[in-house]
Amino acid sequence: MPNSNDNLTLSSFEPYKEEAGEEYMNEKQLKHFKNLLITWKAELMEEVDRTVSHMQDEASNFPDPADRASQEEEFSLELRTRDRERKLIKKIDKTIDNIDVDDYGYCESCGVEIGIRRLEARPTATQCVDCKTLSEIKEKQVGI
């Protein structure tokens, strides 16, 4: 399904321009968000590939314990970052599945529209701003 957005990077994506009276989460909007998510996932996957290559190229058994420890710490940080990205890729895949079954763009807690701008800022969002804020307040109170 090649189109003009295939070479799009997240840093250069075009914000969605709503037309007056346009229905929320219509086919055009869903396509916009699906393309955004696919691009984001592709960028994350490229980063994973670069990390694997970098770690293979840089892997050395330094005789100096300080050098070896520095390299292990660097690799550990990279692996933690990639683990977070792996979890994000799963979330992106789930969001794409939701788009495919017309279950995208509405708050899973209260059912209201999440909103185009919020979804562009966080395409994997599943809650409206109000519900997310309330959820974060509850998390902080439990953590006390």
17 to each of 2, 14, 29, 78, 106, how far by Cα in Å? Answer: 21, 9, 9, 37, 19
Q: Which amino acid is at 4?
A: S
Of 88, 131, 135, 127, nearest to 104 (Cα)? 127
The two structure tokens encoding residue 75:
């690799």
Q: Known binder of ligand: residue 110? A: yes
Q: What whole-number distance in Å separates Cα of residue 105 and Cα of residue 113?
A: 6
Give the H/E segment covering residue 95. helix 65-100
Q: Known binder of ligand: residue 112? A: no
Q: Known binder of ligand: residue 39? A: no
Task: For tokens 């990279």, name the residue.
Answer: 78
Q: What whole-number distance in Å separates Cα of residue 42 and Cα of residue 40?
A: 5
Binding residues for Zn(2+): 107, 110, 128, 131
Binding residues: 107, 110, 128, 131
